[in-house]
Amino acid sequence: MAKFEITMLGCGSGIPTAKHMTSAQIVNINERLFLVDCGEGTQTQIWKYRVKLTNLDAIFISHMHGDHFFGLIPLLSSIGLMLARTEDLHIYMPIVMVEPIQYDLDKYCYLPYKVILHGIDTTAREVLYENSTMTVESIPLEHKTPCMGFLFKEKPKANILLPEKCKEYGINCTEFRKIKEGADYITPDGRTIPNSELTKPSDYIPKSYAYCSDTSYCPALAEQIHGVDLLYHEATFVESEKDMAATAGHSTASQAADIALRANAKQLAIGHYSIRYNDEDELLAEAKSVFSNTVATQEGMVISI
């Protein structure tokens, strides 16, 4: 079975505490790893939960608040020092972050690999990353500073070849790859055999994960992430403090659950808890009253899709 899982490294907001670290997650898709946000202490969490960064493909930073990126420069240094990485590393972040992060890299880091910073317009939806099996799209969010989320989506699997049908037409195996990729077959006498006769659609259903970090309540999110398998949505406050949430550019647990409901998500994971709460029971109960299939994230939790 294809692997698609998320490891929660930090679920708190503002500052790291004895209970929660600040925002960071690892998305593992078939053993290719993606770091999403990198709050203070992220590398400690990575070593604690034995994440193998040798397969790290890219890093995505949602916005320029410290609880989402203060761990980035130390981590990049450690990757060079401890892992001796030589492969280029691509980092996607709001365009306002590129200049100061590049300054820190040039001033404080001596790396055996190249860091490539991609400045992103957080107001636009676009594909940031793509390989042969999946894509990562930006999700515009509404916060106090330019901010975006990220939508990880698997691509549909290639059609399944029907060898017996190919044999009927005397098709050489050297043609199989092109046929699997969607090509019709032209017989020696010039007839076209449509691809639909030689293949059948894969029954594999592509998986998806949406990460919505700091954002005020934004119903328009639901359209872009509609049908997502797992939605992570910040739930900094309880509903009784929704005015405070709006002022701070954050969401309540009820509002996060409402987005999941509108998006027809299969599961909701909440996080980014305010330090004002001793536990997440009230936040979780509030979210579950709107969207029952909700979990409250904790450090070290692994959610498989």
pLDDT of residue 115: 97
How confident is the model over 71-78, as a mean pLDDT? Answer: 96
Rounded to whole angstroms, the Cα distance separating 11 from 7 reads: 11
pLDDT of residue 166: 86
Q: What is the extent of the structural domain holding 167?
A: 160-200
Selection from 242, 251, 215, 184 nearest residue 68 by Cα: 215
Question: Which of 200, 219, 254 represents a domain boundary (last residue)?
Answer: 200
Mean pLDDT of the chain: 95
Q: Which residues are catalytic?
A: 67
For 261-275, what is each residue's pLDDT tens digit?
999 999 999 999 999
In the chain, the number of structural domains is 2
Residues 122 and 76 in one domain: yes
Selection from 27, 266, 6, 270 nearest residue 134 by Cα: 27
Tell whether the torsion through CA atoms of 34, 36, 38 and 41 is positive or negative. Answer: negative
Residues 23 and 106 in one domain: yes
Match 């398998």 to its residue by tokens. Answer: 229
Residues 250 and 130 in one domain: yes
Residues 170 and 264 in one domain: no
At CA 74, angle to CA 41 and CA 79, rounded to 5? 105
Residue 262, φ and ψ in degrees, nearest 5 = -65, -35
Which of 12-16, 183-187, 273-277 is predicted least confidently? 183-187
Question: Which of 148, 175, 200 represents a domain boundary (last residue)?
Answer: 200
pLDDT of residue 144: 95
Residues 195 and 259 in one domain: no
Residues 73 and 211 in one domain: yes
Contact between residue 212 and residue 232 where contact means Cβ atoms under 8 Å apart: yes
- Please indicate, yes or no, whether the overall pTM of this predicted structure exceeds 0.75: yes
The two three-digit tokens of residue 272, written as one number: 């980014």
The two three-digit tokens of residue 41, written as one number: 């202490």
Binning pLDDT at 50, 70 and 90, where does residue 259 land? very high
For 261-278, b where at least 16 C-beta lie within 10 A, e where not — what string?
A: ebbebebbbbbbbbeebe
Which of 81-85, 92-96, 224-228, 246-250 is predicted least confidently? 81-85
Residues 61 and 184 in one domain: no
Largest Cα–Cα distance of the chain, in whole Å?
76
Residues 277 and 249 in one domain: yes
How confident is the model over 162-170, as a mean pLDDT? Answer: 86
Residues 192 and 235 in one domain: no
pLDDT of residue 82: 85
Residues 12 and 38 in one domain: yes
1 pLDDT higher than 70: no
Q: Which residues, at least 6 apart from 240, have a Cβ–Cβ distance to it below 8 Å?
A: none
Residues 144 and 264 in one domain: yes
Binning pLDDT at 50, 70 and 90, where does residue 169 land? confident
Q: Which residues pair with residue 119 across a beta bridge? A: 93
Rounded to whole angstroms, the Cα distance separating 239 from 259 reads: 14
DSSP-assigned letter for residue 272: -
pLDDT of residue 97: 98
Q: What CATH number is attached to the domain comprising 217?
A: 3.60.15.10
Question: Which of 146, 176, 200 represents a domain boundary (last residue)?
Answer: 200
The two three-digit tokens of residue 169, written as one number: 């037409």
How confident is the model over 92-121, as a mean pLDDT? Answer: 96
Residues 292 and 215 in one domain: yes
Rounded to whole angstroms, the Cα distance separating 288 from 290 reads: 5
